[in-house]
Amino acid sequence: MSNETTPIRPDPVFTPDAAFFWEGVTRGELLGQRCSDCMKITHPPRPMCPVCHSIKRETVKLSGRGIVTSWVIPRHPAPIGFAEAPIVALIELEEGIRMVSNVIDVAPDAMKNGIAVEVRYAPTKGGKAVPVFAPAKGGARE
Amino acid sequence: MSKFAAIAGIGQTEFSKASGRSELQLAAEASKAALDDAGIDPADVDGMITFTIDNSDEIGLTRCLGVKDLGYTARIPGGGAASVATIHQAAAAINSGACEVVLVWRAMNERSQYRFGQPMAPPSGGVVNIAGNGTGSLLWCMPFGAQTPASWGALATQHYMNTYGVTNGDLGYVSVAQRKHAATNPLAWFYGKPITLEDHQASKWIIEPVLRLLDCCQESDGGVAIVVTSLERAKDLKRKPIRIVSSAQSIPAEVEVISNYYHADLNVMPEAQGVAKRLYQRSGLTPKDMQLAMIYDAFTPQVLYQLEAFGFCDQGEAKDFIKGGNIEVGGGLPVNTNGGLIGEAYIHGMNNITEAVRQLRGTASNQVAKMTNALVSCGMAGAILSNS
């Protein structure tokens, strides 16, 4: 992917309870939501801790390291905002949460479950960014 | 003696790709047909239930039908995953005394007026209202190119397929069985059009490596309606009552509709497991007591998950269970004998309920012999229906 090209990827949708996530990513930080009382990390974020019901919450910097739990390639109809069909993946982060993302720098033929990945950032058309994942240095982890 | 509710009438419009009339008209026509089937004057409807993503309005429909005094309404979250919850909530409303005649409906022009399966352009700016969809897809999937129901569903499914060695070729057995049923069902869009496993494998990838075109349900125009009343009242009406033996919803922790990625074990469908547990506990029945399963089949893998969740086979074994004609009429467990949402039409699960009613009445096109009990499931809700 060339950096010269104008980004066409759709912008993320900001909601009051998830704005911190996208704002962090746009600054180049992968943030999670942690309960200030019981320390539970929750994704997707929400305004109350489902374990202890605290509404006190803080953002925590995530490792950005994880493994591919599931992946697909949307072939038809072509997704809006992508020059080529992306690899859409579920990433299970070291912190024990899952998030939907893309895997980059892997050929579709070489794609498989269990690949160790680490976070990168991809710009969107409106000047925001989303977290994407590339193979971690050191390769697949069994 | 327990109180029971019963399905007293069913009705529908034709299923097409271009209805040529409004969604409200489809709703009104299907509703009138269901009330005529039951022998109930539309004026006497006093309850209405539908589920989210239906564009018709309860009050608009009362105006069409000339309903005298509507006393109860409910609109259930979850889209199609709530289709059988309409039966659950209708039974609860009737058994509680809240109302006496519940009209359940679904009517959409999801092919001609808009395209339900096309990528959704992510909204830009403003407040996004996803209440009632039961899914975080808009928020967490859109900017990564997962923009259709097929892509959201397939992303969870690939994990299951990888775990149990299920291939896309295996899924073809569901498509072939259901298209065989549709081929001999004059109500089905794919009437007279069976397919082979080769056709399935030759169809284009929608979501690689999970779903080909022939793994996906249709986009359909049409309406379906169901009338529910007490078993006692239903016995005095035109049709043999179809008893709601048990019904249930289940929305376990961290479960979402279709973008269902956050619960503990992606190899199972926890909501269907929850529905199964409640249905069997409440009825005292077991999987072996079912002569038919009508299973929400937006995409072929959903059938496999639910066969396992409802205990028709063991975990990971659905890929073998579906082979050898086992899920066809005449097989061990006939499934989706109308062709399902893949072969008949995609009326968001409602037409799978009406097929169960026809089977229990003995009036189905692909009639199963010796029907007593039918299971109907849409993942987050289910019911056991009986003609005894």
Looking at residue B259, which CATH number applies to its domain? 3.40.47.10
**Domain assignment present for B236:** yes
Rounded mean pLDDT of A27-44?
Answer: 97
**Residue B321 domain flag:** yes
Domain membership of residue B15 (yes or no) is yes
What backbone phi and psi angles, to 5 degrees, belong to B338?
-90, -5
Q: Look up the domain containing B57 and give its range.
A: 5-113+218-386
Mean pLDDT score, B117-135: 70
Q: What percent of chain B has pLDDT over 90?
A: 92
The count of domains in chain B is 1
Local confidence band at A79 (pLDDT 50, 70, 90 cut-offs): very high
**What are B227-245's pLDDT values in tens digits?**
999 999 999 999 999 999 9
State whether residue A36 sits within 8 Å of chain B by CB.
no
Chain B residues touching residue A73 (CB < 8 angstroms): 205, 207-209
DSSP 3-state assignment of A69?
Answer: strand
Task: Walk across the sheet containing B72-76 and list its strands.
Answer: B72-76, B47-51, B101-109, B221-230, B5-12, B242-249, B381-386, B373-377, B292-295
Residue A1 confidence (pLDDT): 47
Asked if A10 has any chain B CB less than 8 Å from its own CB, the reply is yes
Answer yes or no: B296 catalytic: yes
Structure confidence at residue A3 as a pLDDT band (50, 70, 90) = low
Question: In chain A, how long is the greatest CA-to-CA distance?
Answer: 47
List pLDDT tens digits, range B355-382.
999 999 999 999 999 999 999 999 999 9
Q: Which residues of B touch A13 (CB under 8 A)?
A: 122-123, 128, 138-139, 142-143
Give the confidence band of B32 by pLDDT, cuts at 50, 70, 90: very high
Kindly tell me the burial class for residue B138, based on how many C-beta atoms sit within 10 Å of its own C-beta (0-12, 13-18, 19 or more): buried
Nearest neighbour of A100 by CB, restricted to B123, B140, B148: B140
Other C-beta atoms closer than 10 Å to the C-beta of B162 total 18
- Kindly report, residue by residue over B260-311, the tens digit of the pLDDT: 999 999 999 999 999 999 999 999 999 999 999 999 999 999 999 999 999 9
Angle (CA) B77-B78-B81 rounded to 5° is 130
- Which pLDDT band holds residue B116 (cuts at 50, 70, 90)? confident
User: Residue B80's closest CA among B381, B388, B384?
Assistant: B381
- Domain spans of chain A, in order of start: 19-135
Question: Is A33 within 8 Å of chain B by CB?
Answer: no
pLDDT given at position B141: 94
Does B121 have pLDDT greater than 80? no
Question: Angle, to 10 degrees, between the axis of helix B149-164 and the axis of helix B300-309?
Answer: 50
Whether ipTM > 0.90 holds is yes
B164 an active-site residue? Answer: no
Q: Give the residue among B263, B245, B337, B355 at the shortest CA–CA distance from B305.
A: B263
How far is it, in rounded angstroms, from Cα B29 to Cα B48?
A: 15
- B374/B388 Cα distance (integer angstroms): 11
User: Looking at residue A13, what is its pLDDT?
Assistant: 87
Phi, psi of B114 (to 5 degrees): -155, 170
pLDDT at A133 over 60: yes
Q: Is residue B181 part of a domain?
A: no
Query: Which tokens sit at B309?
Result: 């969740």
Query: Is B324 a member of any domain?
Result: yes
CB contact under 8 A, A12 and B207: no
